[in-house]
Amino acid sequence: MPGTVQSIERAAAVLRLLAQSTRPLGVVEIANALSLPKGTAHGIIRTLHTVGFVDQDDRSGRYQLGSQLVRLGGHQLDRNELRSCAMNWADTLASRTGESVRIGVLDQPSEVAIVHHVFRPDDSIQVMETGRFLPSHACALGKAILAHTPGSAAWCKGSTLEAFTARTVTDGRALVGQLSTVRERGYASDVEELTNREASIAAPIRDHGGVVVGAVAITGSMKALCDTGRNPRPRLAARVIEAARAITGELATRRE
């Protein structure tokens, strides 16, 4: 049986490393992490960049997964598959937090499509939101996905961001800063950015290759989800992150 091709193995290792990283990486960081000579790492990255599998940040010079690779991965993950994997975990999250749960995917940079919705576990009147589209810049679901989407910074800076409340972030550079914070802490939030007196906390869902393909969020009153300083309650953020990781694990298991 023929042996493996070393250059392809190394390229795959670079892609896996970038997929698992919460931030763009430099050539030296990649080389050190994979125990590769710097010149070898640079050659692999340059080739991956040429074919669109890796994108380079214009300001920092660091690298992240490219838009072409994300599109390929997106074609392999049906929305129904994501919904199927997420249903049980979404129910559990709603039960543990007492809030409604949404599962969303990026339909286009400006919009998130809700593919699954679990009602808040109480007797209040609620409306099913499956199939609804939300503005990605003004909701936690959108920011959780945009933070890990190649090319999102350019989209933020080049788009007209509509204000839905007085607190909606409409400055592209400010939104890019928020997305950086999302990557650092592992979750996104919106506090009265889409709807007054309402807040949301979301975390990214990854496919079997580590690419972010969606997000899970809880939504409720600002008083319930935030402390007196308008910051998301750590206990609830931890629950959302836990659910996102569980759904990620479910996706990986079904692909084995």
Total of domains in the chain: 2
pLDDT score for 77: 55
Do 157 and 169 form a contact (C-beta atoms < 8 A)?
no
* One domain for residues 27 and 94: no
CATH value at residue 183: 3.30.450.40
Candidates 136, 229, 225; CA nearest to 178 is 136
Residue 70 lies in a domain: no
* One domain for residues 118 and 243: yes
* One domain for residues 184 and 224: yes
* One domain for residues 226 and 106: yes
Residue 231 lies in a domain: yes
Domain that holds residue 54: 6-65
* One domain for residues 97 and 176: yes
pLDDT score for 76: 46
CATH value at residue 58: 1.10.10.10
pLDDT score for 241: 97
* One domain for residues 224 and 126: yes
pLDDT score for 68: 65
* One domain for residues 124 and 44: no
- Assigned token pair, 136: 């990605």
Residue 1 lies in a domain: no
The single-letter code of the amino acid at 90 is: A
- Assigned token pair, 47: 């080739």
* One domain for residues 193 and 243: yes
- From 65, 88, 114, the end of a domain falls on 65
* One domain for residues 126 and 40: no
pLDDT score for 75: 46
Element housing 255 (H / E): helix 234-255
- From 22, 38, 65, the end of a domain falls on 65
Residue 189 lies in a domain: yes
pLDDT score for 73: 55
- Assigned token pair, 228: 């007196």
- From 42, 65, 88, the end of a domain falls on 65
Residue 229 lies in a domain: yes
- Sign of torsion over alpha carbons 216, 87, 106, 55: positive
* One domain for residues 81 and 47: no
Residue 124 lies in a domain: yes
Do 42 and 50 form a contact (C-beta atoms < 8 A)?
no
- Sign of torsion over alpha carbons 220, 95, 131, 210: positive
* One domain for residues 136 and 181: yes
* One domain for residues 17 and 59: yes
Q: pLDDT tens per residue, the chain (256 residues)?
A: 456 688 888 998 998 888 777 678 899 999 999 999 999 999 999 998 888 788 887 778 888 877 666 555 554 456 778 888 888 899 999 999 999 999 999 888 899 989 899 998 888 888 888 888 999 999 999 999 999 988 888 889 999 999 999 999 999 999 999 999 999 999 999 999 999 999 999 999 998 878 899 999 999 999 999 999 999 999 999 999 999 999 999 888 876 5
Residue 71 lies in a domain: no
